[in-house]
Structure 1
Amino acid sequence: MEPFIDTGISAWMLVSASLVLLMTPGLSLFYGGMARSKSVLNMMMMCFGAMAVIGVIYVLWGWSMSYGASLGGIVGNPLDQFGLGGSFAELTVVDEETGQAIPTLVDVGFQVTFAMITTALIAGSIADRVKFGTWLVFAGLWVTLAYFPMAHMVWGGGLLSEDGPFARIAEPIDFAGGTVVHINAGVAGLVLALIIGVRRGFKTEVIRPHNLPFVMLGAALLWFGWFGFNAGSAYGANGEAGLAWVNTTVATAAAVCGWMVVDKIRQGKPTALGVASAIVAGLVAITPAAGSLSPVGAIVLGLAAGTACALAVGLKYTLGYDDSLDVVGVHLVGGLIGTLMIGFLATDGGIFYGGGPSLLLVQALVVLVAIVFSGVVTAIIGLTLKATLGWRVPEEGELSGIDLLEHAESAYEGIVPTN
């Protein structure tokens, strides 16, 4: 069919893009509340700073590297559509049979919001101790060298897509970003936490969230925005979007139930921080699977993610890496669970629905490639910046408050931060 602009789908995608854009400010509240009172502004600035840097980069070369002409199946040619050249009159076909399409610029708007939130996620693993300028340089380098290639490999027809070599085993499934977003960011957070080192007082002081209402509000905004993230990835206001919406809701609710049970067993009471973290864990896990599971399967996945992530966030104390705001425990672990459990729970090809091991095998291979790729690229960037610009703020600045040191501001004017 001859492609034509479907204004209804175009409107839905613009709304979805706006919802996803809201997620990064929501994340800044979520992370800002979890941070100490002397670090809240810096944490929020790291999120907003990533939005600013990536908003410019994506137009210049990000879209082209993600969806331009492929270079070896690993990355798109950055010069192919540099500055969105050639994209203004193009259409993105969303249904080959009917010819329904959206303006390519609408797709650009949707995809840039994914790049923003993914990079901002990493900030939580290195809270309270890094130079703001070094973070901004890292954000630009990482989104260019890690995120854009991963997006191309998974969604742009590259090595990890349905057109890649693994598809001979089974067609890989990543509906909205289990590998591209959460495993990618989770691995990067772990690598940076190891390179930069622990905060002053890690494991010797009690470091608590300074504002739990902020955390709860941030989690609510993330849940709200995530409907654009998952349902929007159906590229249509249709049954698949409805399935993704329902699965996103029930998986998140089930994750909260699972986490509260762990909290009750472990410390006798469910906690607000646990509920907020569980919301994000459930959202993370269902992201790659939102279009492939039944609602009952989504409940099973959510329970598994909520339980596993509740247990995983404590690993940093056992293993000694300072993942300040649980990026590894929530995003890496949740992303792994969601991506791998597709092999069991997918209604088409999952083991529990009569399929063989092929889908699980290909999901595991994609996960392995994503972990290695993100880990190596992040290590190179992180170590290079450590040797050149330096990551750590001075010790006295970290102790007195990174907000004052890096931004000459305080979140609570006239109150001396004690945490």
Structure 2
Amino acid sequence: MATEQQDTMEVPAVGRSRHLLDEVFGEADIRINGDRPWDMRLHRAEALDEIVARHSLGLGETYMRGDWDVPSLDQFFYRILTADLPRYIKPWRNAGRILRSYLINLQSRRRAFKVGEHHYDLGNDFYQAMLDSRMTYSCGYWREAKTLEEAQTAKLDLICRKLGLKPGMRLLDIGCGWGSLISYAAKNYGVECVGVTVSREQSNYIAETYADLPITVHLRDYRSLDQPFDRIASVGMFEHVGRKNHRTFMRVVKRCLKKDGLMLLHTIGKNLRHSTTDPWIEKYIFPNGELPSAGQITDAADNLLVCEDMHNFGSDYEKTLLAWHANFERHWERFAEQYGQQFYRMWRYYLLSCAGAFRARYIQLWQWMFSDRLQGGIERVS
């Protein structure tokens, strides 16, 4: 298996003259051709001009091509984001993308299945190798956990306890993934579950794996939901809804939630309302994805649902991503021929850049609790 460290040793750092990026990276204490774990080892000098010209896309694509390496990508991105180097990106460079996100509904019904086909349908065997035994593809809860398996089980149980699940209830999971929550809730809390996904691979996996449980899975867009449920959860799906559809999502929840019901929304969130998705992430990992801000979430629920609680454990996502990366590296030889070296570099860049972003608190992980004007509030669970 080719590792980044091996690539760095085999391809010597290039000689070059001083560049603008020396000054920019210096703000984050990153040296080009330095010898520390977070320093960039440059293999093609022209990559620096491409990074300056194309910013995030240039940085990611030159890495995917092997133009540079960093022994510890998560430390590299932690330093970049802690030093707020994105401020060097002039506002006009993103003006077109910002305008596009406001004028075009990038998460329309017609586009709804694109992310499923591009990302979640990569192959169940690939995700089984990277994730925990239940294939839980969202942040674990590491408060008392020492392993990925323990953290994901703790997260699933935390959700069930927050929702106050009891035998006989009906639970809807909007964006159910490979069924980790609905299978856990059905087995441990005796509830009937309905899951909705835009991934054919996920739908088929749930139908085959959990045929003995009271679970129904639908391959459909969330906007068509109209059945009543005692409880609703959405875990790691709201990031694909988009600002133009936030209010629609909350109306669907309102329509499907019984009068004494509760809804839990588990989502990654951004600190700045008026910002757009990182262009490299949008192009290569989550097409049409868009993180919500806290204000956008409360705006969407305004006069529809009551926010009963908000719990931030974004620092736990760094541990989750590093655990996924360790599994990915451990099992890569099984997939190397199928996916190739460029995918390998793309995927580790994705996992480790996100780990650095969560460590820098550049992005967050929230669990929101909503009710349909439930009288007297709810019991807080942690």
Per the normalisation by structure 2, the TM-score is 0.28
Higher relative contact order (CA 8 A, sep 6+): 1
Higher gyration radius (CA): 2
Structure whose residues are more often strand by fraction: 2
Larger fraction in helix: 1
